Amino acid sequence: MKTKLLLTWLCVVGSSIYMGASAERGLISADVLIEQAKLIAADGVPLDVFGCAVAVSSDGDTAVIGARGVNTNQGAAYVFEVMQSPAGIAATYDFYIDRVRVSWNAASGATGYEVWRGASNDTSQATRIGTGISGTNYDDMAATAGTPYYYWIKTTNAGGASAFSEYAIGQVLFGPDVRLNGAAGPVTLAEGSDLVVTVSMNPATYAGYPVDWWVVASSPAGLYYLNSGMVWTPASALDDCLPVYQGGLFGLQSAVVLDTTGLPAGIYTFYFGVDTLNGILDPDVIYDSATVTIAP
């Protein structure tokens, strides 16, 4: 946000009081201004004062302000710059089963960072959940699974804190998830490229509930399922598929179910799901899927 700048200066030198005010000097960022430099004249003499004036850069992020009363009353020009909030804000969404990882780019002049979280895109309702962070990522371990959150970052140093950054939305995984080379898909790969398929599960409050676990893939050659021996097996129909595991729900993070460079060109969709413990792939199976196109 930009705002008009109106400054008043009060200086006391001996028994004399000096006061001056600038006129409105254009638009300047309404964020924390940090002093970057104090400029004095190399050939100045006593009482050779700077005027009480303000110059603002065209982008509103830098101000040069003249003031009296220092350097034997020659005065000085002070250079202020807005503390920049970080860029490149990102937050994991439906990836980790126990956290949201928030990351950002390093900001110039930062000695630390703050992380803020909210339930909506409203910084006035945001809560600071991390402070004094020296790196460029933060794990929110208190996020509720399946609930989306907005995240903002502030730069901090001895001068204070910056404005809020742009937001990113993150969420802890709830239920099953399939990733292709770490992406939710769809993705496109050249033939011969490495494809790593991983599955994750966060049962949350349903941990221990008995279920069938299914990993199935559709391919140009037909259906395949991952059997209990972790071997991909062809199936003529879904009814021929067997569960990869039968037992209680538990947390699973990024388990590899396929790592190959040998898929022929075509479209492949991978499914990971759970349903009632009965050895049958039920219509109400809870699942996630991801599609990859192998380009020739």
- pLDDT single digits (tens) 190-199: 999 999 999 9
Q: How many Cβ atoms sit within 10 Å of the Cβ of residue 215?
A: 26
> How many domains are there within the chain?
3
Do 116 and 183 belong to one domain? no
- Among the candidates 56, 82, 108, a domain finishes at 82
Instruction: Indicate if 62 and 100 belong to the same structural domain.
Output: no
Q: How far apart are CA 48 and CA 71, in angstroms?
A: 10
pTM for the model: 0.75
**Is 179 in the same domain as 160?**
no
Contact 212, 274 (CB under 8 A): yes
For position 212, which CATH number holds?
2.60.40
Is residue 233 within 8 A of residue 216, CB to CB? The reply is no
| DSSP β-bridge partners for residue 13 | 16
Q: Is 89 exposed, middle or buried (0-12, 13-18, 19+ CB in 10 A)?
A: buried
Q: Exposed e or buried b for every residue in 58-85, given b needs 16+ CB within 10 A?
A: eebbbbbbbbbbbbebbbbbbbbbbbbb
Question: Number of C-alpha atoms within 13 angstroms, CB side, residue 80?
Answer: 20
Mean pLDDT per 10-residue segment, the chain (296 residues): 45 42 43 69 68 71 71 71 89 97 93 97 97 97 97 91 95 98 96 98 96 98 97 96 97 98 97 97 96 97
Residue range of the domain that includes 49: 2-82
Strands 76-82 and 2-4, sheet pairing: unpaired
Question: What is the CATH number for 116?
Answer: 2.60.40.10
32, 45: one domain: yes
